[in-house]
Each structure stands twice: as C-alpha cells, then as structure tokens.
Amino acid sequence: MTDTNPTGTPVWFITGCSTGFGQALARNVLARGWRAVVTARDKARVASLVEGMGSRALALDLDVTDGAQIESAVAAATAHFGHIDVLVNNAGYGYQSSIEEGEEAQIRRQFDANVFGLFAMTRAVLPGMRARRQGHVINITSVAGLVGFQGSGYYAASKHAVEGFSDALAAEGAPIGIQVTCIEPGPFRTDWAGRSLYQTPNRIAEYAETAGARMQLTASVSGAQPGDPERAAEAMVQVTQLDAPPRHLVLGAIGFEAITGKLRSRIAEIEQWRATSVGADFPAG
C-alpha cells in the first residue's frame, strides 16, 4: 500500500496533465484532498487544476525529454512535499505509419518521449522511494504495449519497451517496497487522436488495407470511443490503495478482449512448439 504522511494525504507526481488521463487523474487525486505535483510542458495549461488548492497542489513545467527539467521538477516536488509516494508516467504521444513508411525523425522523437523520458523520470524519483523503502510507479502504456496493431508498429514498440522495463523494475523494486503497475487502456475518449497523434500518410498501395485502413479508423472514431477517462482515473487511484496491486491493469472492454485473446493465442502457439523448444537444449546426461 502506498505510504501516507501523518496527515493521511499521499503525494502524487503526474506527468502530462494538460489533457486526457493525466488531467482526469489530477482532478481525482486533488478532489480527495490528497497532494499532487501537476505537470505539463507549459504549466499555464494546468493552472485551472491547481486553482484554489493551496499548498496541496504544485504546478510545474516539465518536458520529459529534457533531463534538466526532470531533475529540477523532482527537486522542487521534494522540497515542497518532502517526498513522492506515487509516480505516474503519463506523458507521451502516438505515431502511426506502416513500418516501411515510418520516418526516422518521428520514430526517434516518439521514443524520446514515450521511452527515454519515462526511463529518466523514473530514475529521478527512485532514490527517494528507495530511501523510504516504499512507493508506487504507475506507467501508462496501452493495449499496444502487449499487442502490435497494423499501422502502429513504432508506437507499439515504444509501449512494449515500457512493459519490459516495468517487469524488471517490479522485480528490483519488490524487495525494497516499490510497487509497479502498468495501465493498459484500450480506446478512451481523451481526444488522443486529435491532440497527441502524428501520422505519416500511407502512400504505398500494398499497405492500404492494413496500416492505411487502421490509420483512417483511428482518426474517424476520435470522440466516440467507449472508454471513460474519469472511470479510468478512479481505477488507477484504487490500485494504489491495495496491499498487492496488479502488475497489469487493462482498462476498457475492447482492450480486455484484445489482450486476453492475444495472450491465449500466444500460449497455444508456444505450447504447440514445445518439443522443438525444449529440444534445443543439450541432451540430458
């Protein structure tokens, strides 16, 4: 369970709060009377979230691709609140293209935000959690962190990287009281496609029915997704109150079906090739 200070109010540090999940989560946490560091690349965009909250809320400029800003933000948060109980790595964005048509600059830009920024943010917060032997790291990944969809190969690669990182962090953190949860949302009504998605248009005809079609679908359903960001925020808050929080929390029916179907299929395929797999060892004896 996330430790709280004597006043009973845990300290949350949330990246990417100007819109979407980060904004909904910041509202939820502060509405409970808890304390939060609310960040965005321009803190003016989160001013309304902290208005009237007094010292319980701290708004900070934070671009997670800027190492100096990360160090400054964590130092400011620690100076203001004393410690950080829950880190939510939410900042990031989407990029869609066919694999062949992916643009190097866009791919690297996405990995800087979704992967290397998240890694750096986590490293900056871990010393305080390690010293106190408690803390909870929540990484917002995606269904794409476990399933690679056509048109989203590079986005899926960034989220798969976070999942693998989180597995290792959970193994290293568990003995010293640091818990890790990956949140894996399906389609949610966060205007992600309208504000946080970049696309390289499909021009190669052979990918029109795969990557091209999925890219068009993503844009067309924006604003009509079934997932409710407020309910998602509530679910995230609830897992921090558990003695044994889940390592994975899939959100939304579409995401649940996609991930469970993928995992069942993967296990069946691995089992089918069991003899070949175990036969690759040196013979016994």
Nearby residues of 219 by Cβ (< 8 Å), 6 or more positions away: 193, 197, 199
How far is 113 from 122, CA to CA, in rounded Å? 13
Helices (H), the chain: 20-31, 47-50, 67-81, 104-111, 117-132, 153-173, 192-195, 213-220, 229-239, 253-272, 274-278
> Which residue among 93, 95, 154, 155 is the active-site one?
155
How far is 178 from 171, CA to CA, in rounded Å? 9
Neighbours of 169 (CB within 10 A): 19
How far is 276 from 270, CA to CA, in rounded Å? 10
How far is 129 from 175, CA to CA, in rounded Å? 12
User: 182, 141 in Cβ contact below 8 A?
Assistant: yes
Helices (H), 113-152: 117-132
User: 139, 181 in Cβ contact below 8 A?
Assistant: yes
User: 27, 49 in Cβ contact below 8 A?
Assistant: yes
How far is 126 from 36, CA to CA, in rounded Å? 17
Residue 93 known to be catalytic: no
Specify the length of the chain in residues.
285
Residue type, 14: I
Any idea which residues carry the catalytic annotation? 155
